[in-house]
Amino acid sequence: MAKILDRRRLVPNLHLIEVHAPEVAKKSRPGQFVIIMPDERGERIPLSIADWDPEKGSVTSVFLLVGTSTHKLSLLKPGDEVPVYVGPLGKPSEIENFGTVLLAAGCFGIGAIYPLARALKKAGNRVLTIIDVKANYLLYWEDKLKAVSDRVFISARDFALESKDYVPAKIEEVARAETKIDRVVAIGCTYLMYRCSEATKPLGIKTIVSLNPVMVDGTGMCGACRCTAGGQTKFACVDGPDFDGHQLDWDELFKRRKSYFDDEIRSLCYWERTNFP
């Protein structure tokens, strides 16, 4: 059992959850994730680690409300307990002095990219961060990212933020303005990471994406997170979650992401009907 220290809504549809898990906090590295089960009858879902505090023994994630499990998580209160909280899982992101690194993040990825920006900055990189949001009221952690980035750009389809660019256009704009970008890292929904990878391919910039496929065990045993990278079968939980975005079979990824859509909708409708009649 792991105790919830904090759970709050950051912006509509995105919540923060902080869990007391001292062993996980001690070993967490940027790019890793945890598997959480909201209750004993729930499913195991992966959440990217957005921050951790070894002294307090806490680990923080940001999650998007998608299906039944994330809706259950969004109702947890400080003091509640979850039956399963396993981690840190996955390979940590590569951290070294690459030169100039451009980070692109949207949705829950804005939280997930924070420890990566912090570590890359500490390693001596020039860190440029693009935060992608649909509208100004969906923006969060801008100050945290500003504290660990040399520059932060907002990409939005919202005139309140004086921007109407989707993130790939912003990547091209920043890349044109810079003398050299040595690496791009994108974290967020599959479509955002796909579009970022497509944008950087003609520019010849190595692009790393952090996959978030369906997972069950998170330790390479069930095959749920299978993907194809460089023509080879990989498991996102143990071979990733970071992969070269130019090597991935995106069509396969999109198809596999949709496998349980109908079941998710049925499950959520049933759960809402039985819990909020």
SS3 96: coil
Residues 216-245 touching ligand FES, rule: CB under 6 A, are: 216-218, 220-225, 235, 237
Alpha carbon 175 to its chain's center: 23
Residue 90 engages ligand FES in binding (rule: CB under 6 A)? no
Angle at 207 between CA 113 and CA 98, to 5 degrees: 75
Q: How far is the CB of 90 from ligand FES (least distance, A)?
A: 9
Residue 219 backbone dihedrals phi, psi, to 5 degrees: -130, 20
104 binds ligand FES (CB under 6 A): no
259, amino acid identity: S
Min separation Cβ 219 and ligand FES, Å = 7
Of 49-57, 73-81, 121-129, 215-223: span binding ligand FES (CB under 6 A): 215-223
| From candidates 113, 148, 215, 229, binder to ligand FES by CB under 6 A | 215
**CA 74 → CA 10, 13, 21, 236, distances in Å?**
11, 9, 19, 25
Q: Confirm if 73 and 7 have CB atoms less than 8 A apart.
A: yes
42 binds ligand FES (CB under 6 A): no
| Residue 115 near ligand FES by CB under 6 A | no
Other residues' Cβ atoms within 10 Å of the Cβ of residue 225: 25
CB of 225: closest distance to ligand FES in angstroms?
Answer: 3
Tokens of 199: 């944008």
Stretch that binds ligand FES, among 2-10, 54-62, 191-199, 213-221 (CB under 6 A): 213-221
Q: Which residues bind ligand FES (CB under 6 A)?
A: 215-218, 220-225, 235, 237
